[in-house]
Amino acid sequence: MSQVLTPCPNFIGGEWQTPSGASTPVFNPSTGDIIAECPAGGAAEVNAAVEAAHAAFPGWRDTPPIERARIFFKYRQLVEENFDLLCKTVSREHGKTHAEARGSIFRGLENIEYACGIPTLLFGDSLKNIARGVDCETINLPLGVCVGITPFNFPAMVPLWMYPLALACGNTFVLKPSEKVPLCAVLLGQLLEQAGIPKGVFNIVHGGRESVDALLTHPKVKAVSFVGSTPIAKYIYDTATKHGKRCQANGGAKNYIVVMPDADVAKTVENLSTAAFGCAGERCMAGSTAITVGAAGDRLMPELIAAARAIKVGPTDRAAQPDMGPVITAAHRDRVLSLLASGEKEGARIVADGRGVKIADAPKGFYVGATIVDNVQTGMTLAREEVFGPVLNVMRMDDLDAAIELANKSAFGNGAAIFTNNGRAAREFTMRVKAGMVGVNVGVPATMAMFPFTGWDDSFYGDLHIQGKEAVQFYTQQKVISSRWFGGDVGDVWKK
């Protein structure tokens, strides 16, 4: 008996449409089963969505910000009411544990809540009498049609980084979710429709590169937001800006966590395990490399290895939950295993080995267990490439200066953290390390909705980041109005 597949329609001009033609399979990573077919859309679907968004823009732009905010207050309520369903959808199509899914959706909710404050966020500036009889003010106006191209690793959270604020600012929007995880986007779109978003203001198109290229080159698209790998981020940025669009393109990372000799071992192990192995390592803020300083390595490693070996791996689509779920596809699992093999070949030592994971009741799932690789050296492939899996590299340095120097050689610049009880060491690290988000005794220093997600270097292409006030600037353009009035005696107006 064949499994009934979950529908995966486009949402264009306020209508749900299931196109015929080519599609790509959507897997449940826990079982390896196909659960949906994602339409392999192209230029025709993209053009229809952009045209619908373009036609809806004038009416939405002129909708008072407080009325736009009320839709997002309703949207927040609907997301909360459907929280469990969203969590199950994230776990089913991505493989996150229920706890990880809940955490990611809470972060998405925070972005909806931030968007609800749009009447205040859109405030401009004013100054009377900048010259005699001349007043000046700034107003923040929407751009037009904006686009979000999102990755597989956070099916709900990353889209919610983008479109609530873009829409609240008065833009219209076309979302192109990852073809690996399209079902959360559909569910979120259905809830936004229920919240009362006008037809054409928000649209969803599915597909691969053809859809992406059509969005990047469409003359009526004004701005593009992207999250994904660094090579694709650079391509997105170069192509979008070449075609006259604003672009914020978030790429990959290689995040370093420095452990000082005075660090609290138990707390460090707890945070480092979460940073490295949470979400199966499939996040751009994963703490993928630990740099132990001096005696910290010998103090840390026995407990860290024991913690990794104790992590229970298994399917996340059922009531009994593991500590860690699968990676996204069989191909990605094989890539992680290949990188581990390269590390061994180049002289690193695997001290906690997750390669032999077998799940009896889910033999076709895409599993890799928590893995720690010790004595990783700078020239190794494991040290250079983003693994994007449950793998922690360990590198050893004699002092903090050497640790910072090593971290700063990375081409990436998303996150970095230090574990220490020494305020001077923490201050030295936070001031000198080359990363946009820095944690002190915080393993994953990812920001909340009111702060920007400030990747640097090869982790970000653009000028204005996702989230916070920078995102408001990204999704709006400033107009400066200077005014002076001529006429007779002003007092005459008030005379009867």
Note whether residue 152 is domain-resident: yes
Q: What is the domain count for the chain? A: 2
- Cα–Cα distance between 288 and 36 in angstroms, integer? 32
Mean pLDDT computed over 32-44? 95
Residue 237 has pLDDT above 60, yes or no: yes
Q: Is residue 1 part of a domain?
A: no
Strands 221-227 and 145-149: parallel
Q: Is pLDDT above 80 for 490? A: no
Look up residue 410 and give its amino acid: S
Question: Average pLDDT of 19-33?
Answer: 94
DSSP single-letter state for residue 313: B
Query: Is pLDDT above 70 for 13?
Result: yes
Indicate the residue among 391, 409, 440 that finishes a domain.
Answer: 440
What's residue 17's pLDDT? 95
Are residues 295 and 198 part of one domain?
Answer: no
The pLDDT of residue 41: 86
For residues 228 and 265, membership in a common domain is answered with no
Q: Note down the domain range covering 431.
A: 256-440
Whether residue 325 is found in the same domain as residue 471: no
Q: Mind listing the pLDDT tens digit for each residue in 289-342?
A: 999 999 999 999 999 999 999 999 999 999 999 999 999 999 999 999 999 999
pLDDT at 53 over 80: yes
476 within domain boundaries: yes
Q: Are residues 76 and 223 in the same domain?
A: yes
Q: What is the pLDDT of residue 487?
A: 79
Facing residues of 27 across strands? 34
Residues 472, 350, single domain; the answer is no
- DSSP assignment string, 171-236: -EEEEE--TTS-HHHHHHHHHHHHHTPPTTTEEE---SHHHHHHHHH-TTEEEEEEES-HHHHHHH
Confirm whether pTM is higher than 0.75: yes
| CA–CA distance, 236 with 212 (Å, rounded to integer) | 9
Rounded distance between C-alpha atoms, residue 40 and residue 367, angstroms: 27
Q: How many CB atoms lie within 10 A of CB 291?
A: 25
Nearest C-alpha neighbor of 30 from the set 102, 88, 108, 105: 88
Q: How confident is the model at residue 492 (pLDDT cuts 50, 70, 90)?
A: low
pLDDT in tens, 298-313: 999 999 999 999 999 9
Same domain as 372, residue 285: yes
The answer on pLDDT for 127 being more than 70 is yes
Spatial distance between the Cα atoms of 155 and 181, rounded to a whole number of angstroms: 6
Strands 460-461 and 246-250: antiparallel
Give 67: exposed, middle or buried? Use CB within 10 Å, 0-12, 13-18, 19+: exposed
- Is there a contact between 136 and 172 (Cβ–Cβ < 8 Å)? no
Are 189 and 329 members of one domain?
A: no
Q: Please state at what angle helix 83-94 crosses helix 65-81, rounded to 10 degrees.
A: 70
For residue 489, pLDDT beyond 70: no
pLDDT tens for 420-450 read: 999 999 999 999 999 999 999 999 999 999 9
Residues 6+ apart with CB under 8 A from 269: 300, 303, 304, 307
**pLDDT at residue 1 is higher than 50:** no
Closest CA to 227 of 213, 248, 197: 248
Q: What are 275-292's pLDDT values in tens digits?
A: 999 999 999 999 999 999
CATH number of the domain residue 57 falls in: 3.40.605.10
Per-residue pLDDT tens digits for 62-115? 999 999 999 999 999 999 999 999 999 999 999 999 999 999 999 999 999 999
Would you say residue 447 lies in a domain? no
- What's the CATH code of the domain at 424? 3.40.309.10
* Listed residue (434, 293, 280, 461) closest to 371, CA to CA: 280
Name 394's Cβ contacts closer than 8 Å, sequence gap at least 6.
289, 290, 292, 297, 301, 351, 372, 373, 374, 375, 376
Residue 451, domain member (yes or no): no
Within a domain: 329: yes
> Could you give the CA distance from residue 383 to residue 261 in angstroms, rounded to a whole number?
23
Residues of the chain above pLDDT 70, percent? 98
71 and 163 together in one domain: yes
pLDDT at 276: 97
With the CA atoms of 219, 209, 26 and 186 taken in that order, what torsion angle do they form, in degrees rounded to the nearest 10?
-10
Write the pLDDT tens digit of every residue in 355-405.
999 999 999 999 999 999 999 999 999 999 999 999 999 999 999 999 999
Quote the pLDDT of residue 8. 96
Shared domain check, 282 and 146: no
Whether pLDDT at 26 is above 80? yes
Picking from 237, 254, 290, the residue whose alpha carbon sits closest to that of residue 455 is 254
- Residue 360 maps to a domain: yes
- Say if residue 293 is in the same domain as residue 174: no
pLDDT number for residue 20 = 81
What is the pLDDT at residue 399? 97
Check whether residue 382 and residue 418 sit in a common domain: yes
3-state helix, strand, coil in the chain (%, to 5): 40, 20, 35
Q: How large is the average pLDDT for residues 173-187?
A: 98
| Annotated catalytic residue 284 | yes
Instruction: Look at residue 183 and tell me if it is in a domain.
Output: yes
- Catalytic one of 116, 146, 247, 284: 284
Task: Specify the pLDDT at position 493.
Answer: 54
Q: pLDDT band for position 491 (50/70/90)? A: low
Dist CA 380 CA 67 (whole Å): 55
- Rounded to the nearest integer, the mean pLDDT of the chain is 95
Whether residue 384 is found in the same domain as residue 274: yes
